[in-house]
Amino acid sequence: MTKKKNGVYAHLDLFDTHDWGLIIYDEVHLLPAPIFRFTADIQSRRRLGLTATLVREDGMEGEVFSLIGPKRFDVPWKEIESQGYIAPAECIEVRVNLSDSERLLYATAEPEEKYRYCSTTKTKSEVVQELVAYHAEEQILVIGQYITQLDELSETLGVPLIKGDTPVKERERLFAAFRTGEISCLVVSKVANFSIDLPDATIAIQVSGAFGSRQEEAQRLGRILRPKADGRGAKFYSVVSRDTVDQDFAANRQRFLAEQGYAYRIIDADDVFQGKI
């Protein structure tokens, strides 16, 4: 519906000309965004919104209620976990130090560039390599924001990368290979934040993200929460540069999951290098 052709939403008339009995808005937290907001004008007798993460960094989540209606049902993630609908998960923040040269570059960077510099430090790559080796028998997702960083990780690890310009057929082929176990590790950009079903993924390693987005943090954890056939739990690693804006943003990103009952265990990069995970 939201696909444009010559600047026009070609299928919108199809929705406007019907009197719908029920419209279900999946990922309803997106509705306040301009590209989706106009769909609230579609006429229907009933509306139902679904989301696991009713949070927005622009503070507009409350508009969902005015566009759809009041909240009817809300259940904490940990309660769903206790009922077996999602896998148990451990969240671990791995703190790394900037090198002296990186610290100088970070200190002299323009404010808008500081996050990129501290998010793409060399030590993060080294930590990711250690974590991937440590969990070699698991199905692993390495997730990040910056394509240059992800390109380098893909090459270093010798595993495929899925990003925005990866053709749809190639994405589907790689995801299918991951599901069957032919591929045990994938590097993915934010294209994997939504609607990707990878039931056997047990490890997620986050190297960078969209600043302090609580929603993205929860979505990325969600990639590994499908219940496993053998009852195994999942591990979500967030690799963070110590004493930088990266650490500040990480604290904000974790707030929603903390409200859901998750606690982050903080370890040092040296713990990873020494196998003390």
| Local mean pLDDT, 10-residue blocks, the chain (277 residues) | 53 74 86 73 83 83 84 92 96 97 94 93 97 97 96 98 94 95 96 82 96 92 92 96 97 94 97 94
- Spatial separation of the C-alpha atoms in residues 187 and 163, rounded to whole Å: 9
Task: Measure Cα distances from 87 to 51, 75, 201 in Å.
Answer: 18, 16, 11
Predicted local confidence at residue 80, as pLDDT: 94
Let me know if the fold of 7-74 is the same as that of 85-274: yes
CATH of 7-74, one of 1.10.287.130, 3.40.30.10, 3.40.50.300, 3.40.190.10: 3.40.50.300
> Is the C-alpha dihedral spanning 124, 129, 130, 134 positive or negative?
positive
Long-range pairs, 189-194, Cβ under 8 A, ≥24: 189/143, 189/144, 189/145, 189/147, 189/150, 189/161, 189/162, 189/163, 189/164, 190/145, 190/216, 191/162, 191/163, 191/164, 191/166, 192/141, 192/143, 192/162, 192/223, 193/219, 193/220, 194/27, 194/219
Kindly list the domain boundaries of the chain, sorted by start residue: 7-74, 85-274
Predicted local confidence at residue 191, as pLDDT: 86
CATH topology of domain 85-274: Rossmann fold (3.40.50)
* pTM, rounded to two decimals: 0.87
Phi-psi region of 231 (alpha: psi -120 to 50; beta: other; left: phi over 0): left
Predicted local confidence at residue 37, as pLDDT: 74
Predicted local confidence at residue 6, as pLDDT: 47
